[in-house]
Structure formats: structure tokens, C-alpha cells
Amino acid sequence: MDCIREAMLGSLVGGGRFTAECHALLRQAVPLAIPYLTTSCTDALELAALALDLRPGDEVVMPSWTFPSSANAFALRGAVPVLVDVDPGTLDIDPAAAAGAVTARTRAVLCVHYAGVGCDMDALVPMCRDRGIALIEDAAQAYGAFHRDRPLGGIGDLGAFSFHGTKNVSCGEGGALIVARDELLPRVEIAWEKGTNRLRFLRGKTERYQWLDLGSSFLPSELSAALLAAQLRDAGTVTALRRRAWARYDILLREAASPLLKPLAVPAYARHNGHIFAVRLRQAEWRKPVISALAAAGVEARSHYEPLHQSPAGRRLCRTAGALAATEAAAPCLLRLPLDAHITAEEQECVMGILLDTLRQLSRA
Ligand SMILES: Cc1ncc(COP(=O)(O)O)c(C=O)c1O
């Protein structure tokens, strides 16, 4: 609350002392890249599309298993999201499917670090570099997660974080674009400041600022930045607590050794941030009764994305490349269990108990 009081005493206009503090904390978390605070991850992705100067007919390859914002940001520029399949274990983009979808019109590959478990960057980074296309990390769920010793969000050319209320670190609605390729910085600076060179003006590099290119209003107010700064300072503790809770679910599931469900895979190169603990039920028709049984006990378990290629806008604005069998198989079976920094071991045992009992009953019916 002190941070809110302090923000209220000053100007609430974005770009002030708390924005600077968030930028400093993000630079510590993701070294060698420049962060720009935004009002959401959606905004950060739209800023990425402007940074890459995407035009109608350009293509961006991405998984169908993602949130609409991943595709919307590029469709807004007239670019075509090309939807590919995911790895069936992690539900992260399948690098071979992504490589197979690249055409002469491809400008970028967007990878989504689903559940805060990093994509196969060892495959994606050289694949994009060799073809001269940009790699964008949709790291909406991945703040505080790593690929080996490198923080997610800062490995590709551009990375987008979400600080939405559902994320590990949050200010209600917030995000950041992380720019790891220096030559993109001038375009990002202008687009971030509503299409003007106001940042150069503030640095005393030009006498007045002018409208130079496309841009929008991406900066959050200092009130949001103050809240976020406080959360970013505590991010290490929150991540550790969430990882502990994630590990407890994982142990319970392994001990149960039930053939009726399985967890998502975590490859050896991925150090996740405990954002989501999801299981795949053996049969899709079990999900609804399982959610109801848990809800009857006051437990909120949730499904997740509708694959974009099966959504009305996805069918209109995107195209697919290759089969999407892993996406289509996983989507109706996926169940997210409740997880936050303060969930107790007893609560988790109770969730797992109801889940397993219900599945046993359903499998016998
Ligand atoms: C993969 C992915 N990208 C982007 C977003 C959008 O994030 P925001 O709500 O911060 O705009 C989400 C939202 O959860 C998401 O899951």
C-alpha cells in the first residue's frame, strides 16, 4: 500500500519514477535486453508487430494452442497467423512443424512458453536465425522461468510478458515488451510513445517532438507501475512458493501412478516458474464431471484455450500448416488445478483426492 500512497503523491502519468523502477527490475531479471512497460501482454505483442513493421500478407508462424492475443496482434497489421501443432508432451510449439510452415512470406515465428515451461529454444533460435526471420517469445506465462540458465522472454528478438491478475506477478492489467535486438529499438521507442520521438526529446536530443510513424498508447499509469514494482521486488519469493506447490502436486500424481491422467512434460532444459499445474485426462468426456465434482467441494479447476484454428476468428484470419493432431487431442482433455503461492499441502491433497476418486468412478461407469 505504501507504493500506492507514494504514487498518488506524485504525477500518475506513465513513464515516471515507478516505470523506471520496473524497467530496472526487469533489466535485472532479463539482462542484455531493454524492457518497455505496457498495459498488457496483448499490448506488448501489438508493439512487437509494429516494431517488426509487419505488413498485409506477411506471415507469422505460431502454435494454434494459445490465447487469441498472440494472433490478434499480427492480424491487426494485416499479417496472417500461420497455425501449427505443438509437442504433445509440453504443449509448446513443435519446432519441426514451425520450420515446415516457413514460406517466403514468413517474417517471424512466435513461440508460447505454455504453463511457464520453456519452448525448445535450442531448435527455434538457430531455425529462425538461419532463415533470417524474427523469433518472438510470447512469455505471457513465463516471468521468472528459464531455458537452462537464460531467462525466458530475453532469448528471442522480442519477448512479451503479462502482468495480468491471473499471472504470477501482477498489477491487475500490465505487461512488458523485452527487446533483445538493438536494431529494433528505434522503432519500438517511437511506437511506444504514440508514434512520436518524445523519448529523444526527453533526452534533449531534439528540440521538439513530432509524429514520425505508427504508434499507440502503450504506457501504463504510474499507479499500475507502482503496484508492479512492489510485485517485481517479491517475484523471487512468489516463484519459489509456486514451484513448491507445483512440486507437491507432481509428487502426489506420481505416487498415485494412475493410468487415468498424466501431467504435462517438463524437459530437462526447462526451469519452470510454477505458473500452471495441468493434467491431461485420458478421456475428454471426463472433464466436465470432474470440474463439477471439484466445484461441489469448493475447488475451482479449469480447462484452457480453444485452439485458434477451431475458433470463429481463427478460421477467418489465420491459416493452418500441417496436421494439428497433438493440439486437437490435448485441448478437450486438459485440466488446470488450482495453484497459488499460498495453497497448502492439505488443500492440494484434498484436490488430488477428489480428482482421483471422481476419475476412478468415471472409468468404472
Ligand atoms: C499465451 C498468452 N499470450 C497473451 C496473453 C494476453 O495477456 P494479457 O492479458 O496481459 O494481455 C495471454 C493471457 O493469458 C496468454 O495466455
- Cβ of 140 below 6 Å from ligand 1: yes
Q: What is the mean pLDDT of the chain?
A: 97
- Cβ of 72 below 6 Å from ligand 1: no
222-275 pLDDT, tens digit each: 999 999 999 999 999 999 999 999 999 999 999 999 999 999 999 999 999 999
pLDDT grade, residue 3 (50/70/90)?
confident
Q: Work out the percent of the chain whose per-residue pLDDT is above 90.
A: 97
pLDDT of 286 over the 80 cut: yes
| Distance (Å) from CA 40 to ligand 1 centroid | 8
For a substitution probing ligand 1, which of 60, 67, 76, 169 has the most ligand atoms within 8 Å of its CB?
67
Please state, in angstroms and rounded to a whole number, the distance separating the CA atoms of residues 197 and 200: 5
pLDDT of 1 over the 80 cut: no
Please state, in angstroms and rounded to a whole number, the distance separating the CA atoms of residues 224 and 175: 10
> What is the model's pLDDT at position 10?
87
- Cβ of 218 below 6 Å from ligand 1: no
- Cβ of 162 below 6 Å from ligand 1: yes
144-191 pLDDT, tens digit each: 999 999 999 999 999 999 999 999 999 999 999 999 999 999 999 999
- Going by their DSSP bridges, the two strands 158-162 and 175-179 should be labelled as antiparallel
Average pLDDT over residues 70-83: 98
> What is the model's pLDDT at position 225?
97
- Cβ of 117 below 6 Å from ligand 1: no
110-147 pLDDT, tens digit each: 999 999 999 999 999 999 999 999 999 999 999 999 99
| pTM for the predicted model, two decimal places | 0.97
Q: Work out the percent of the chain whose per-residue pLDDT is above 70.
A: 100
289-301 pLDDT, tens digit each: 999 999 999 999 9
Region of 154 please: left (phi>0), alpha (psi -120 to 50) or beta.
alpha
Give the cell for residue 170: 501482477
Give the cell for residue 284: 475428454
pLDDT of 7 over the 90 cut: no
pLDDT of 96 over the 90 cut: yes
For a substitution probing ligand 1, which of 41, 86, 224, 305 has the most ligand atoms within 8 Å of its CB?
41
- Cβ of 249 below 6 Å from ligand 1: no
Domains for the chain: give ranges and CATH numbers.
2-233 (3.40.640.10), 236-364 (3.90.1150.10)
Q: In this structure, how many other beta carbons lie within 10 angstroms of the beta carbon of residue 203?
A: 9
